[in-house]
Structure 1
Amino acid sequence: MGDKATAKALAAAILAGALSLPLAGALAQTTTTPAKAPGVHIELNKLEQQGEACRAYLLFENEKGAEYPVYRLDLVLFDKDGRIDRRIAVDASPLRAGKSVVKLFDLTGLQCSAISKILLNDISPCEDASGPRDDCVVSATLSTLTDVSFYK
């Protein structure tokens, strides 16, 4: 009779352990997976020659996103031959939640017609209310209304 009681206790322990595995996996998943950053849409809206500088107009659409008190673009500009012309940092901070905003910056000593493409190399630093983010460039979407390719 002792063997039957031991067998039943063992079976109950195995069943309890098997039933708790999916729950343990779900709990581990929720505590280790950070929330994905809401994406910001960035549009290269216009390039305009301003004397010796090319003025770039960027539209940031953060309609569904979080507020970003820190949001800096790392951009690489390529000439018509596909060679890197320069690398620049553009501070777009702050980006308010539920808001679109146009930011402009001048590229001194550069003709707009000499730019063939612009690479969004990174968005760093990037911070929302939870602190520094490392997924901002992945969650960003891009478009252009110019003849210049804007990509990541």
Structure 2
Amino acid sequence: MRISPILSVLSAAFLAQAAIAEEAVKPADESLEGKLSLELNAAQSGEGGCMLTFVVINGHDADIARAVYETVLFDKAGQVDRLTLFDFGQLPAKRPRVRQFSVSGTPCDGLGQILVNGAHACEAAALDEGACEAGLEVTSRTEIEVLG
């Protein structure tokens, strides 16, 4: 059976895109060992407010059953807009997860910073008590700065 040249090119392009997508959310092996990475990956304004998209990677050797963070949202002028809880749910070991949170009544261009104030809840039976806070690395790919 012979594969057409067009199908070969399309297959190669699909495989290349899949590899790029996998690399984009792949943990940086040793750099995340024993840490938790929380990246604000996107912020999109909609009718009701701002949709925040996070990529979270649990670099620990065990699953986190539940991680809830107290976060403080600051406007562009540096004033506190609100204090809220973001429930990231279950975070399997060494695997990326994407979580979205809707911030009602505030457009994304009105947010200047997000402060991860600390872990409100961290359920991880096989890990130390501070597993959700110790070694927490926060980053942003948006204009909204994330602090931790």
Please give the TM-score of this superposition, normalised by the length of structure 1: 0.70
List 4+ stretches of structure 1 deviating above 4 A: none
Q: Does residue 118 of the first structure (1) align with residue 114 of the second (2)?
A: yes
1:75 aligns with 2:71: yes
| Aligned mate of 1:139, from 126, 135, 139 | 135
Aligned to 2:101: 105
Instruction: Give the alignment of 1:1-152 within 5 angstroms.
Output: 38-130=34-126, 133-152=129-148
Q: Is the contact between residue 125 and residue 132 of structure 1 (CA under 8 Å) also seen in structure 2?
A: no
Query: Over residues 8-37 of structure 1, what are the superposed CA-to-partner deviations in whole Å (9 max), with x where a residue is unaligned?
Result: xxxxxxxxxxxxxxxxxxxxxxxxxxxxx9
Percent same amino acid among aligned pairs? 25
Amino acid of the structure 1 residue aligned with 2:112: S
**CA-based RMSD:** 1.8
Which protein is bigger by CA-based radius of gyration? 1
Maintained 8 Å contact 1:63/1:100:
no
Q: Count how many residue pairs are aligned between Structure 1 and Structure 2.
A: 116
User: Quick check: which one's helix share is greater?
Assistant: 1
- Unaligned ranges ≥5, structure 1: 1-36
CA–CA separation in structure 2 for the residues paired with 1:73 and 1:116: 19
Asked if 1 retains the 8 angstrom alpha-carbon contact of 2:34 and 2:59, the reply is no
Question: Alignment partner of 2:64: what SS?
Answer: coil
Letter in 2 for 1:141: E
What secondary structure, in the 3-state scheme, does the structure 2 residue paired with 1:70 have? strand
The whole-number CA distance in structure 2 between the counterparts of 1:44 and 1:126 is: 20
Unpaired runs of 5+ residues, structure 2, are: 1-32
Secondary structure of the structure 2 residue equivalent to 1:94: strand
The Cα shift of 1:38 comes to 2.4
Write the letter of the residue equivalent to 2:137. T
- 1:132 CA displacement: 7.3
TM-score (norm 2): 0.72
Q: Is the 8 A contact 1:38 1:66 kept in 2?
A: no
